[in-house]
Homo-oligomer: A and B are copies of this chain.
Amino acid sequence: MVNRRASLDLTFQALADPTRRLMLAQLSRGPTSVSNLARPLAMSLPAVMQHLTVLEASGLVRSRKSGRVRTCSIEPQALGRAEQWLNRRRIEWEQQLEGLGQYLQTVKD
Contact = CB atoms under 8 A, between A and B. Distances in A.
A11 B92 CA distance: 19
A60 to B, nearest CB: 10
A82 to B, nearest CB: 6
Contacts of A74: 89, 93
B29 A18 contact: no
Given A9-B17, A15-B12, A90 B96 contact: no
Contacts of A12: 12-13, 15-16
- This protein's copies in its complex: 2
Contacts of A79: 86, 89-90, 93
A80 to B, nearest CB: 7
B90 A82 contact: no
A76 interface: yes
Given A13-B16, A74-B89, A83-B90, 6 more contacts: A9-B17, A11-B16, A15-B86, A25-B89, A28-B93, A79-B93
